[in-house]
Amino acid sequence: MENLFTRYTDSSAVFPSFPIVQHNCLGSWDVFFSLFHSFTMLPHPPLLVALQDPPSRRSVLPTFPGFMSFTPPPPGRPRVAIYVSRTLNQRLSCSTVFHESSDMLSVDVFSPEGLFGSPHRSLRVISVYLLRTNSPPYHSILPERLFSFLSYPHLVLGDCNLHHPLADPCRSLSEREFTISTRYFDSAFEVLYYLLNTPGVYTRFPFDTISRPSVLDLAFANTALSSFVSSWDTPLPSTGSDHVPCVITLKPPAILLPPPTPHWALLDLDAVGKALDTFTTLPCPARPTPNSMSRWFNISSTRLTSLLTTHAPSKCPCPRSKRWWSPRLSSLRREYHKFARASRLNPSPLNWSNVKSSRRTYFKAIVSAKKAHWSDFLSSATPGSLWTAKRFAFGRPPQRFPDLPGASDPAEVAETHLDHFFPSKPPPPPLLRLTRYEDYTPLTS
């Protein structure tokens, strides 16, 4: 069988994509294996698989190559489970978090370098199975326990058994269904969680022809994770369950370039002056009202702004541009490279002297521009930007592990501790053999 994780070959890069699959297996082994074999159809194999109603035998979950399974502790049949890929567990640290209810399980993913190119080092994924009950809140888990405020990325997904207009806008809801689901959705929105489902995309298709399709498998992400959510989709085929597998893909946010803006410093003042001589505004309304005056002002302002922007060149900052860069540095850079090219073509002492002089002037100007920009940044720093200034000044903190002689990385530190606290036993002494002694008096004749 094909190894699903052979496509992650670059060990230097953390995962380019972080797919997470959520599915209700209906307690069927056939559904479980059909789901995991369908992962070969995805561009990237999933790193986490959150299951509801997984199959089990004597509280033992099925196994699949390349995955590790976690489930709430017994007693009772497991209602939720999370499968973690061994590739993810080898590169990052994964730990489980158990809750009071056996219908909810969390997995924390930790990376010391940060996740998704951000300073967030932790990601919590919760698999939940909301079972209906006969007493309020008519589900097995309270909404306050399901949605809590966290400063780091948090993803809640599972079979929630809730019907709400935001997830299924075309469904006619009863008053009871709307009241119950609204309590959970309001609790999520109060702590800044957002629904990831595409409205109207069904996730459950009943086996009978009487019941209508519905959206029961929901996914919520908090504010810290929302910018890293690339897509929510149902691309996998049917597994034999009445639920559809859902795939949530997390990626680092794309770099969005700012839109072009007018370069007012290069505004052609002569052309603008000539254009203003012939510029006229619309006549003011004869009987002005608030609406007519607002409309007249907006039209006149738009015409004047358009006249100015037509005589000003546009500028679009490059994502690699530096705030401390200036036109003087650009001219010094051109001059330095001009002398460097001339010295390569004609390596004479005069050309080499010009190269050294222009290079010294160019790099001194860079140092002076950085110092001036840093002084301006500190002078205008606010209480909210002091930690940013500290990070710029001291850089990324070093890895936190003990400093021992002869140990330069965590593996050597662990080996040193093992050798110190658990030294190897000395080899046993050699066995002694008794030699025959001839000069002795026998005790018996």
* 3 state DSSP class of 54: coil
Q: Report the candidate in 332, 341, 326, 325 with the shortest Cα–Cα distance to residue 359.
A: 332
Here the tokens at position 293 are 């005056």
Amino acid, single-letter form, for residue 120: H
The pLDDT profile of the chain, 445 residues, written as one tens digit per residue, is 334 433 343 333 457 789 999 999 999 999 999 999 999 999 889 999 999 999 988 888 999 999 999 998 877 788 899 999 998 888 888 888 888 888 899 999 988 877 877 778 889 999 999 888 877 777 888 888 888 888 889 999 999 989 898 899 888 888 888 888 989 998 888 888 989 999 889 999 998 878 889 999 999 999 888 888 888 999 999 999 999 999 999 987 655 556 778 888 888 888 888 888 888 888 888 888 888 888 888 888 888 888 888 888 887 766 667 778 888 898 999 999 999 999 989 889 898 999 999 999 999 999 999 998 888 888 887 776 777 777 777 766 655 555 666 777 777 778 887 888 888 888 887 777 766 666 666 666 5
Q: Is residue 137 within 8 Å of residue 129, measured between CB atoms?
A: no
pLDDT (tens digit per residue) in 276-310: 888 888 888 888 888 888 888 888 888 888 888 88
Here the tokens at position 52 are 């509801």
What is the model's pLDDT at position 155?
A: 93
Find the farthest-apart pair of alpha carbons in the chain and give their distance in angstroms, rounded.
Answer: 152
Distance CA 230, CA 217 (A): 18
Q: Report the candidate in 199, 183, 250, 198 with the shortest Cα–Cα distance to residue 222.
A: 250
Angle between helix 349-379 and 327-345 (nearest 10): 160
Q: Is residue 42 within 8 Å of residue 2, measured between CB atoms?
A: no
What is the model's pLDDT at position 12?
A: 32
What is the model's pLDDT at position 11?
A: 31
Q: Is residue 293 within 8 Å of residue 301, measured between CB atoms?
A: no
What is the model's pLDDT at position 36?
A: 94
Query: Going edge to edge, which strands form the sheet with 122-129?
Result: 93-98, 104-110, 122-129, 154-159, 217-222, 193-195
Q: Rounded to 10 degrees, what is the CA torsion of 339, 340, 346, 349?
A: 70
Here the tokens at position 200 are 């109207």
Q: Report the candidate in 252, 234, 253 with the shortest Cα–Cα distance to residue 244.
A: 234
* One-character DSSP codes across 111-133: -TT-STTSS--EEEEEEEE--B-
What is the model's pLDDT at position 17?
A: 83
Q: Is residue 70 within 8 Å of residue 105, measured between CB atoms?
A: yes
Distance CA 152, CA 223 (A): 9
Helix (H) or strand (E) holding 297: helix 290-310
Q: Is residue 142 within 8 Å of residue 152, measured between CB atoms?
A: no
Neighbouring C-alpha atoms within 13 Å toward the C-beta of 362? 17
What is the model's pLDDT at position 258?
A: 62
What is the model's pLDDT at position 1?
A: 35
CB atoms under 10 Å from CB of 130, counted, come to 24
Here the tokens at position 269 are 């003042």
Q: Report the candidate in 87, 95, 86 with the shortest Cα–Cα distance to residue 121.
A: 95
Q: Report the candidate in 247, 246, 248, 238 with the shortest Cα–Cα distance to residue 28.
A: 238
CATH architecture type of domain 18-250: 4-Layer Sandwich (3.60)
Distance CA 243, CA 285 (A): 63
What is the model's pLDDT at position 192?
A: 87
Report how far apart, in Å, the C-alpha atoms of 403 and of each of 52, 409, 413, 414 are. 45, 9, 8, 11
Angle between helix 290-310 and 269-277 (nearest 10): 140
Domain limits of the chain? 18-250, 257-279+308-317, 327-379
Q: Which residue has the tokens 């109060």?
A: 190
Instruction: Tell whether omega for the bond before 45 is within 30 degrees of 0, i.e. cis.
Output: no
